Chain A
Amino acid sequence: MICTGCSCLCEDIEIQDSKILNACEKGYKHISRFKESKAKNRVYGKEVDLDKAIESAVEILKSAKSPAIYGLDTTTVEAQRIAVKIAEKLNGYIDDNSSFCLGEFVEAILRKKIPSATLDEVRDYAYVLVYWGTNPYHSIPRHMSKFTYYPRGKKRNRGYDEDRFLVVIDVRRSETAKLAKKNAKFIKVEDDLELVDSFERALEGKAPKYDVAEIAREMKKADFNAIFGGLGLKYGLRGNYEKFFSFLNKANKFAPLYFIPAGFHSNMRGFNETLFEEVGEVNKFSFIEKRSDPNFSFPELLKNKKIDVALIVGTDPMSSLPFDVSEKLYEIKKVVLDPRETFTAKNAEVSISSAFSGIECGGEMVRSDGVRVKLEPIEKAEIDDVYILRRILEGL
């Protein structure tokens, strides 16, 4: 089966004698606990059947003056597509978590502003591998062993210590940084923008501030190098994405260098791509104003009291958003679709129990590098996000 524990979407998971094989611990927990604390169908705190819950959801959404749809990063592309239709029908807002995750990078890739590649190409061809502002050991545990540093590839078959050059950039010596030993470099970064400058200078043969001359030399030796950028890079750039994108393009004059976002929720990239196909933007979109804007991100909408109803799919903002934002959720009506009884589901006006994508129901997700993956569920739930969202759409 496919693990939907993170955006690596590992496809080699097996279940044998009730043991889950090959999934990392994060994936194991994700897969093995799907039966625990299932959500209930509830309307204003009272347990109801599915039809009643959907009916109430439709009513609340119909009466909304300014609704938003939010979440959607752990559901399938099929469900995301219907959610976009619902937002359109309601003339509302739609947003996921990518606006405070790696949305800007995915957007640049989709707009073809920066060169990107697939992880399979990385495995086969990449030499210099830069993990920038990310600790894959925690967030995407099998990234290095499955796709980048450790596996042998078509043109990289001599093993990591000869055929790869590992660079880890972080504010501290993370678990991943500890692996940067032979043919490798760890850079403790204080100023990411300055580091971008240093890379540029080093590639041009000038003296850089950060010690990156060796990395630049190694990059020039190879016909394929890759940067995996994480949240540390995003925040380190302090909004200066263009500077980073222009560095990537300049670097490609000296050596092929591809950028791949270092990972997030299982199908965050799927959300960005689906919305991009439908409206030409990747997140925080308003169907009234027909544009994307930082003010249309879900937390901003809440803070500025711009919405009165939220349809929340597969996420738990009451637990995950900062308190000054999440407390605003008490002031609006919430319709929650989730397989799990989350804190938000418990406090929702309408809670609808759904299925775990990839475990109880199938569909398609998009890996962090843009590769589309067909899920291989182990159960077949009839009631999933697609079913529920379709019925809501019909009801509107």
Chain B
Amino acid sequence: MPLTPMEIYKLLPKTNCKKCGEQTCMSFAFKLLNREKKLEDCKPLFEEKKYEVQLKKLREILKPLEKATETGLIVKSELCNGCGNCIVACPVHVEKDPHGAGIGRGPRIRDPIYRIENGKLVIVNMHLCRRYGKNRILCVVCRENCPTDAISFLEG
């Protein structure tokens, strides 16, 4: 289940007090999900006792964030059989590795996004992924082509 900003928002104080540096609690929720902000930046949550239960719930639903990479990607290794569909379909690999992953072989570039190690997909270099950084695109090509849903993204 991908986590949405709305789910996070519901558990925030919703006072738009701006102490976190954001104009609204909603925009704080967005940044939290993108890991541009930390939960600790919302001071009221920690200072005011009435938010105790909400804080606990927030910590719980944000747990997967710790496991995910900077692009919100999660690979469930136990579901992966190393078929390589995701690697070959990835548009970045096609562009940067036309003689390797682009034509179905194991990646030949130094730091591909993904490769298969010991039969399982591993993330080598997330920085090449289209979902990374400021101008990111919400690409889902690898996830869409995994036959067993071994790949998921926090943001859907």
* Chain A residues within 8 Å of B, Cβ to Cβ: 12-14, 19-29, 32, 123, 137-138, 141-142, 144-147, 150-153, 159-160, 175-176, 178-179, 181
A146–B147 CA distance with the chains assembled, in angstroms:
15
Does B104 contact A150, Cβ atoms closer than 8 Å? yes
* Chain B residues within 8 Å of A, Cβ to Cβ: 80-85, 87-89, 91, 94, 98, 102-107, 115-120, 144-145, 147-148
A132–B103 CA distance with the chains assembled, in angstroms:
24
Does B106 contact A14, Cβ atoms closer than 8 Å? yes
Min CB distance B148 to A, Å, is 6
Does A144 contact B83, Cβ atoms closer than 8 Å? yes
A152–B115 CA distance with the chains assembled, in angstroms:
18
B145 (CB) vs chain A CBs: closest residue: A179
Q: Known contacts A20-B119, A175-B147, A175-B148: does B83 contact A142 (CB below 8 Å)?
A: yes
Does A152 contact B83, Cβ atoms closer than 8 Å? no
Residues of B within 8 A of A153 (CB): 103
Q: Known contacts A19-B117, A153-B103, A178-B147: does B87 contact A25 (CB below 8 Å)?
A: no
- Residue in A12, A25, A29 whose beta carbon sits within 8 Å of that of B105 in the complex: A12
Min CB distance A139 to B, Å, is 11
A145–B121 CA distance with the chains assembled, in angstroms:
14
B122 (CB) vs chain A CBs: closest residue: A19
Of A14, A150, A160, A181, most buried by chain B (CB within 10 Å of CB) is A150
Does A19 contact B118, Cβ atoms closer than 8 Å? yes
A175–B94 CA distance with the chains assembled, in angstroms:
24
Does B147 contact A147, Cβ atoms closer than 8 Å? no
- Residue in B81, B83, B91, B115 whose beta carbon sits within 8 Å of that of A21 in the complex: B115
A16 (CB) vs chain B CBs: closest residue: B117
Does B104 contact A29, Cβ atoms closer than 8 Å? no
Does A25 contact B106, Cβ atoms closer than 8 Å? no
Does B105 contact A150, Cβ atoms closer than 8 Å? no
Min CB distance A62 to B, Å, is 44
Residues of B within 8 A of A28 (CB): 82, 118-119
Residues of B within 8 A of A13 (CB): 106
A176–B81 CA distance with the chains assembled, in angstroms:
13
In the complex, 13 of the A-B residue pairs with CB atoms within 8 angstroms, ordered by the A residue number, are A21-B106, A22-B106, A26-B82, A28-B82, A32-B118, A137-B81, A137-B147, A138-B81, A141-B83, A146-B105, A150-B104, A152-B94, A152-B102
Does B84 contact A21, Cβ atoms closer than 8 Å? no
Does B144 contact A24, Cβ atoms closer than 8 Å? no
Q: Known contacts A152-B98, A159-B94: does B104 contact A123 (CB below 8 Å)?
A: yes
B144 (CB) vs chain A CBs: closest residue: A181
B117 (CB) vs chain A CBs: closest residue: A19
Residues of B within 8 A of A20 (CB): 117-119
- Residue in A14, A141, A159, A179 whose beta carbon sits within 8 Å of that of B82 in the complex: A141
The 7 closest A-B pairs by CB, nearest first: A22-B106, A28-B119, A151-B104, A25-B119, A175-B147, A24-B82, A145-B84
Does A26 contact B145, Cβ atoms closer than 8 Å? no
A153–B104 CA distance with the chains assembled, in angstroms:
9
Of B104, B118, B145, B148, most buried by chain A (CB within 10 Å of CB) is B104
Residues of A within 8 A of B106 (CB): 12-14, 21-22
A60–B140 CA distance with the chains assembled, in angstroms:
62
B94 (CB) vs chain A CBs: closest residue: A152
Of B83, B85, B94, most buried by chain A (CB within 10 Å of CB) is B83
A181–B88 CA distance with the chains assembled, in angstroms:
17
Beyond the given A23-B82, A24-B84, A25-B80, could you list 7 further A-B residue pairs with CB under 8 A, ordered by the A residue number? A20-B117, A24-B82, A26-B119, A137-B81, A137-B83, A141-B84, A153-B103
B80 (CB) vs chain A CBs: closest residue: A25
Residues of A within 8 A of B104 (CB): 123, 142, 145-147, 150-151
Does A150 contact B98, Cβ atoms closer than 8 Å? no
Residues of A within 8 A of B98 (CB): 152
Q: Known contacts A146-B105, A151-B103, A181-B144: does B85 contact A29 (CB below 8 Å)?
A: no
A20–B116 CA distance with the chains assembled, in angstroms:
8
Of A24, A123, A178, most buried by chain B (CB within 10 Å of CB) is A24
Min CB distance A10 to B, Å, is 8
Q: Known contacts A137-B147, A175-B147: does B115 contact A22 (CB below 8 Å)?
A: yes
Residues of B within 8 A of A141 (CB): 81-84
Min CB distance B28 to A, Å, is 36
Residues of B within 8 A of A160 (CB): 89
Residues of B within 8 A of A146 (CB): 84, 88, 104-105
A177 (CB) vs chain B CBs: closest residue: B147
Residues of A within 8 A of B145 (CB): 150, 179
